[in-house]
Structure 1
């Protein structure tokens, strides 16, 4: 995430109007605007694999699945573009431009966004009363973390690795971790 040096502060309404005119996607937190940085091929492949699995497993259900380009509003001072978001809330089905009531949010980690995704972003996401699970997927190794809100409202971490099956209780499905990393090669560097 890179703060946009053009603006020292924007109101939420100014951000929403300004962002409509931008070619790139920007996230907004407490008046600051952050450019969504570029994604790698691995990042994109993991998002794609997850999206396909969710779509395949939820095809007969009322869930709506969105990837990367759909804005999420958690508070009036917080707008994000999660890698994958799932909602089954009727209010979201009626909305045109953003999601407000997610049950599942997934972020694929990268070195430039990992601290933000684990910290400030997760702090914001936890403010959603409808969010049941927050999943972080590593893009440099086979590792998945699922934070799940329990009956007492506490967030409990469950980790998954190679050979495990990711259980997504929020949507009632399970996905083998290997399917998230299908066609991902960590041993290949970028060639010019």
Structure 2
């Protein structure tokens, strides 16, 4: 069973990270609001995999790392955490 935030109250980034770590599904965090991730579609998966396949060789030559789905990204300090379809890290040492 999935525990949902009580009464749709806003959470702090710390509360979200602690809460989400205990969940079976993934959730995004946008300015205190918690949003459940929806399931993908086959056309959507084809698009981002084709995009990844086309970009990866070029980015790899430049020393970048690329990841497909499942990687949590913090966009702005204390405001947004989300799971994009494709992540490119231009400075791999910064991700460790």
> As a proportion of its length, which structure holds more helix?
2
What residue number does 2:23 align with?
Answer: 22
Cα deviation 1:23-75 (Å, max 9, x = unaligned): 21111011110011111100011111111122223333310112221011122
Distance in 2, matches of 1:5 and 1:91, equals 32
Distance in 2, matches of 1:5 and 1:40, equals 26
Distance in 1, matches of 2:21 and 2:53, equals 28
Structure 2 unaligned blocks of 5 or more: none
Larger Rg: 1
What residue number does 2:48 align with?
Answer: 47
> As a proportion of its length, which structure holds more strand?
1
Aligned residues: 90
Cα deviation 1:120-178 (Å, max 9, x = unaligned): xxxxxxxxxxxxxxxxxxxxxxxxxxxxxxxxxxxxxxxxxxxxxxxxxxxxxxxxxxx
Distance in 1, matches of 2:30 and 2:60, equals 34
Matches within 5 A, 1:96-175: none
CA RMSD of aligned residues (A): 1.7
Structure 1 unaligned blocks of 5 or more: 95-192
Distance in 1, matches of 2:61 and 2:75, equals 27
The correspondence for 1:82, drawn from 78, 81, 84, is 84
Distance in 2, matches of 1:12 and 1:38, equals 24
What residue number does 2:60 align with?
Answer: 59
